[in-house]
Amino acid sequence: MPTQSGQNLQEAIAQVQQIYEKVGVTLHITTEKPFDISDQLKNGTLPTENEFGDLSTYSPEQNAVIAKFTTNRKPKDNTYYIFLVNDGTGNHGYMRLGGQYGFVYSANARTIAHELGHGIFKLEHPFKGKNADKGKTTALMDYNDGQDFFYRDWKQINDPKVKLYAFQGQKEGEYKGKWLEAKYYNRYVVTIFLKRTTSLSQIVI
């Protein structure tokens, strides 16, 4: 979509790709047409599941968005989907571990890369709990400006036992590999293709 927001998104996509290139991962990312999620907004924002929890589920509103998307669009099984909400509440997001769908509340490339780490490779935070000592490292999976991968992250990413597109235990209506744009708040859908050795993964933002 030829808007200023779309142009900024292309820059963010390039940055996300660069972050993962450091660990030998190639992400092929595309965008899709806007997807309206305004019916699930509460006071102008989309309620999210606790980002400091166990990352095992989505909020009711997020599940409703996923259900609506799977009904109105035809998501692919080999694709991860990211909803870019852009509601101005901060550089945060949510994607369940091993999940197909993610929600990012800004066009911040690092936040996008962080959430994809949860979804694609099941990477966890280097801390536990909301009150933990977070933001003390340069790790991508920490809460800071860092873009580094710890050894355990690198090991997880390159572990052949980590199955891509294995959306185990996902509840009804969850997404796979794309970022969607909502019409009301300039939300975009980007498709991301992930290549790791001979494995291919797609991501849509």
- pLDDT digit string, tens, across residues 165-198: 666 444 432 333 344 433 333 333 444 444 333 3
Range of the domain at 64: 4-204
Alpha carbon separation from 192 to 48, 116, 172 (Å, rounded):
22, 10, 22
For residues 163 and 109, which has the higher predicted lDDT (pLDDT)?
Answer: 109
- What is the tally of structural domains in the chain? 1
- Average pLDDT of the chain, as a whole number: 74
What's the CA gap between 118 and 124, in Å, rounded? 6
Say what the pLDDT of residue 107 is. Answer: 77
Which whole number is the average pLDDT over 88-107? 81
- pLDDT band, very low/low/confident/very high, at 199 (cuts 50, 70, 90): very low
Tell me which of 80-94, 146-160, 165-179 is least confident. Answer: 165-179
- pLDDT band, very low/low/confident/very high, at 110 (cuts 50, 70, 90): very high
For residues 160 and 117, which has the higher predicted lDDT (pLDDT)?
Answer: 117
123-142: per-residue pLDDT in tens? 988 876 554 567 888 899 99
- Please, which residues have CB within 8 angstroms of residue 205's CB and are 6 or more apart in sequence? 9, 13, 29, 30, 31, 81, 82, 84, 112, 178, 179, 180, 188, 189, 190, 191, 192
Say what the pLDDT of residue 123 is. Answer: 92
SS3 32: strand
Q: What percent of the chain has pLDDT over 90?
A: 16
Say what the pLDDT of residue 76 is. Answer: 83
